[in-house]
Every structure is written in C-alpha cells, then in structure tokens.
C-alpha cells in the first residue's frame, strides 16, 4: 500500500500538466460528442485516523448524441475509480487492505430544451452532463438549458467482499447552471423502473446540489454531495424490516466496516485544473439516509460514529472533448 500511495503522489504532482481543458467542435447533425476526463483528489485526515493521505483517481470516457429528435439526448459513460481510504473501503484500522478499483458503465437519457449545441457557441457556457456522482468529472456536456436525466449505473468491483451492483440515477438541470442529482439502488422510482437492483447495499444512496458557472471565473463549479455506503448480508435488510428492528447488523463483520456516510464540498474551476475538497464523515445529526428511512419506516444501517471527522485536500482536473454542432 505504501508503494501504491507513493506512486499516486508522483502521479498527482505530474498530472498538473494535464490539469486543463482541450475542446473542439465539428459538424454533426445528431450533436454527437465524445470525451475523456480525469479527476485526481488527495486529501488528509484532520484527526489522523490514517497515516497516509486519502487518494481517489476517477476517469470517465463518454459518448452521446441526440435520439429521435433534438430534445432527446442519449449518452453512455464508463467510469474508472482507484482509491485507498474513505468511502467504499473498510474502516478497520487494525488491518491494511489493498486499494480498490471499480469500473462503472452507465447509460443515461436526457430530455430538455433548448438545445444549445448549434450555431455559434458561448465560450463561457459549460454544463456537466451528470450520469452518477461526483467521484469523476463528467466527460460530456449537457446540451440543454433545462433538462431531466434518468439512467442506470453498474458497479463492477475487484474487492472480493463486495458484489456487482445496479444503481438508478436522476438529475434535474435548471437554467443551464443549477442541478440536483439523486441516486439510489432501490427507492422510488428506481425500483419500479428496474434501474436499481433494490438490495439496499454498497452505493445505497446519495445526492448532489451543483452549480456550473462561467468558465472564466475563479470558481465556476460548486458541488455539495451526500453519499451513503453500506455493507451487505443476504436478506438481512428485508428481514430487519419485517421484524421492525431499528438497526440491521451483518453476519459477516467485515461488511459492517463498509458503513459510512459522507458530505463532500468541492469548489474550483476544472477548466483551469484546480479544486478544493472538504469532507465530513459519519455525522449523526446530518445522516440524510436515516431521515429517509424514518419517513418510510425502514431499518437503519449501523455506522461507526466514533465520532464524525473531516478530510481536506486538493483536486486536479483534465478534460479532452469534441462536440458536434448542427
């Protein structure tokens, strides 16, 4: 793990050369676009639960085009994640686990108006086309000023203690700058639309409030995200609900170590390649999933509240993208 952390530190210091945006335009009647992005975060635990820094490297490859008509846009993304501590890892301080690697293919359908991918482009306009969460920078831009996106994401993992998962996603984009995104593996409407697998595990739920501003400002992107990550034992969640048990537990104690909640505030300008991240883990008072489960009378996921702690660090961004204009 120490050699892997050193390798990531070297990558983090040299990636600044890619910490920029390269975009281009071409003619395409279907507004086809494609791109590749990278997001590298290096964070430090303020309470020093871990001696080494937290790192997360997220990359996205995406392609999209209009579908049927100019008000409907289809897109496909494949996200790659590499990370050592924090959300998605086990919290057992007595053991050192290998870094986690995930592949997350996603399909998204976006409906909106007006379609801005035609004619002369405003050089300062850029709205991210989200497909899941903020672990990676979206490689595509949203062509609409007002839109709704619905999609599904599959999480393919290398950790033998995890399982393949399917997650539903929805996003509302207002006025080409403000967005609200929500993902869950089994709540309404994802269970009814078969977009999530409804097992209430791992990437069990989360949401984001997002601002995308003019590209030429000091801070043009603000993301406030909440994530809940939990373990899994077969049928435990369903049985706990039927027995009206307040907190569910796991047969495999390793699964309990996955349970975490996270608030993540990101500020920066990805087009200039920089950002600041402040994270809070395991807040009792602000655990939004507990509030949701209270309303729907679902059992709670046990979280190691011992107590809440913070991480803070820097983020570097890069993007290569080509956009088809009518």
Least confident of 48-57, 120-129, 149-158, 164-173: 48-57
Q: Can you give the pLDDT at residue 73?
A: 98
CATH entry, 2-325, from 3.40.390, 2.40.230, 2.60.120, 1.10.287: 2.40.230
Q: What percent of the chain has pLDDT over 90?
A: 58
Using DSSP bridges, classify how beta strands 300-301 and 247-248 pair: parallel, antiparallel or unpaired: parallel
Give the span between the Cα atoms of 39 and 8, in whole angstroms: 13
pTM, rounded to two decimals: 0.87
Q: How many CB atoms lie within 10 A of CB 97?
A: 15
Q: Please list the alpha-helical segments (H only) found in 244-298.
A: 253-256, 288-296
Q: Does residue 94 have a pLDDT over 60? A: no
Q: Can you give the pLDDT at residue 60?
A: 99
Q: Can you give the pLDDT at residue 10?
A: 56
Write the DSSP assignment of 17-72 as a string of letters: GG-SEEEEEEE-TT--EEEEEEEEEEEEETT-SSSSPEEEEEEEEEEEEEESEEEE
């Amino acid at each position: 793990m120490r050699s892997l952390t050193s390798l990531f530190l070297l990558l983090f210091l040299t990636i600044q050369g890619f910490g920029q945006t390269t975009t281009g335009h071409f003619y395409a009647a279907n507004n086809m676009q494609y791109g590749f992005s990278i997001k590298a975060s290096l964070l430090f635990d303020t309470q020093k639960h871990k001696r080494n820094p937290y790192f997360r490297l997220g990359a996205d490859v995406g392609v999209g085009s209009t579908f049927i008509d100019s008000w409907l846009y289809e897109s496909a993304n494949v996200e790659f994640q590499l990370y050592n501590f924090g959300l998605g890892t086990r919290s057992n301080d007595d053991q050192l686990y290998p870094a986690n690697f995930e592949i997350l293919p996603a399909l998204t359908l976006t409906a909106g108006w007006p379609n801005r991918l035609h004619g002369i482009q405003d050089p300062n306009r850029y709205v991210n086309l989200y497909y899941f969460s903020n672990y990676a920078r979206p490689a595509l831009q949203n062509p609409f000023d007002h839109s709704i996106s619905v999609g599904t994401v599959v999480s393919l993992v290398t950790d033998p203690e995890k399982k393949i998962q399917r997650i539903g996603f929805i996003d509302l984009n207002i006025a080409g700058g403000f967005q609200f995104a929500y993902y869950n593996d089994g709540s309404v409407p994802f269970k009814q639309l078969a977009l999530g697998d409804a097992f209430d595990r791992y990437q069990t739920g989360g949401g984001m409030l997002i601002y995308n501003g003019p590209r030429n400002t000091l801070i043009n992107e603000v993301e406030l995200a909440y994530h809940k990550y939990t373990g899994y034992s077969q049928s435990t969640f369903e049985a706990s609900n039927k027995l009206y048990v307040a907190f569910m537990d796991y047969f495999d104690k390793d699964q309990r170590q996955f349970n975490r909640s996270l608030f993540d505030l990101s500020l920066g300008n990805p087009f200039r390649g920089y950002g600041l991240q402040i994270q809070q883990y395991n807040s009792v008072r602000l655990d939004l999933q507990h509030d949701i489960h209270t309303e729907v009378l679902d059992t709670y996921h046990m979280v190691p509240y011992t107590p809440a702690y913070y991480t803070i660090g820097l983020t570097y961004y890069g993007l290569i993208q080509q956009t088809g204009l009518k």
